[in-house]
Amino acid sequence: MPDRMAFEVPEKAGTRTLADREGLLGTLFLLPAFVYIITLVGIPLVLAITYSFSNVTAGNTAFDFNGLENFRLILATPQFRRALWDTLYFTIVSQIIIIILATALAELLALDFRGKRLARVLLILPWATPISLGTIGWLWLLDSKFSPIDWVLRAIHLLGPGTIFGPGLHMNYLGKTNLAMASVIIVYVWRFLPLSAVILMAGLTSINREILDQAAVDGSGFWRTLLEIKVPLLLPIVNVALLFGFISMFSDMTVIFLLTRGGPVYYTQVLASWAYFKGVEGGALGEGAATALFLFPVLLAGVIMVLRSTRRMEVT
């Protein structure tokens, strides 16, 4: 018989420590994030909103409320209208290409093959490298004189006298309006594709395996399963990918700033870069703030709409 007395029964209850006080802990842990957001996001945003309704410039910080004057002014300039159009154009075209490629990539990386891990690492690289470094790499690739792409084109006789891209020896990607716009889109796709692909990959693996097996037994082939089962089930995730894509592209100015500086002339200007050139380099703080904030209400409405519809779809 085991000795019963070996199991000693405690007579008094224990005490409560800091780790048990969830309310206090919650406040404590959230505090740093809260301070960070208020000082580095909240205050600048409020400042930008106030500036956009005032006549503040870099040379004159005296604050005078001037209503919608800044917005009227920027709307009157062709550069702004071009930047607004380009922002939408670049973002929408890039995101369409990105979503299609990301779906294909996610599908590909879901397969089992040798070197799958390496492929995943390579995929994420454009997103992991600093954007300025990546863009500088592209700057050289697209250089007007030393572009390696030109070498290749010349080597396979697509560029040069008497060829389809000829007769010049250089494409001058960033110097011609259409080529510059295409270049910007390619760099954007290169840069933002990994994020979407990873999001979609996660979505794809979260689809119940039995649903896909069921489709196979029900006689569905590759395309039917993709278009009628996977894509509809991925829609909420695609929405999230698009949301992230749109927001990061709308707010990005590095690619334009390093690649084309808005040129040739101002044909690849986007709102973020134009706000910088106008507000910071040009010193017109009010107009710069108005430019930067121009799409803010639209974006906010978009974000709310996408998040709501995503939540509705998740219930399925």
Give the range of 42-50, 142-150, 220-228, 251-259 binding another protein by CB under 8 A.
220-228
Contacts of 122 (CB under 8 A, 6+ apart): none
Question: 54 φ, ψ to 5°?
Answer: -135, 175
Residue from 27, 39, 205, 214 in contact with another protein (CB under 8 A): 214
Q: Which of 55, 66, 79, 220 binds another protein (CB under 8 A)?
A: 220
Q: Please, what is the minimum distance in Å from the beta carbon of residue 111 to another protein?
A: 15
Helices 116-128, 177-205: crossing angle, 10 deg rounding: 130
Q: Segment near another protein (CB under 8 A), from 85-93, 227-235, 238-246, 256-264?
A: 227-235
Choice from 30, 216, 298, 303 touching another protein (CB under 8 A): 216
Per the CB < 8 A criterion, the answer to whether 189 and 245 are in contact is no
User: 67 or 221, CB closer to another protein?
Assistant: 221
- For 219, phi then psi, to 5°, come to 95, 15
One of 26, 148, 168, 232 touching another protein (CB under 8 A): 232
Nearer CB in complex with another protein: 14/219: 219
Partnered with residue 54 across adjacent β-strands are 65
Distance CA 286, CA 71 (A): 9
Is residue 42 a contact point for another protein (CB under 8 A)? no
The amino acid at residue 241 is A
Confirm or reject binding of residue 110 to another protein (CB under 8 A): no
**Choice from 8, 11, 112, 210 touching another protein (CB under 8 A):** 210
**Counting Cβ atoms within 10 Å, is residue 86 exposed (0-12), middle (13-18) or buried (19+)?**
buried
Q: What are phi and psi of 142, to 5 degrees?
A: -100, 15
Interface residue with another protein, options 158, 229, 247, 306 (CB under 8 A)? 229
Instruction: Find the largest Cα–Cα distance for the chain.
Output: 102
Binding of residue 233 to another protein (CB under 8 A): yes
Q: Contact positions toward another protein, by CB under 8 A?
A: 208, 210-211, 213-221, 224, 228-229, 232-233, 315-316
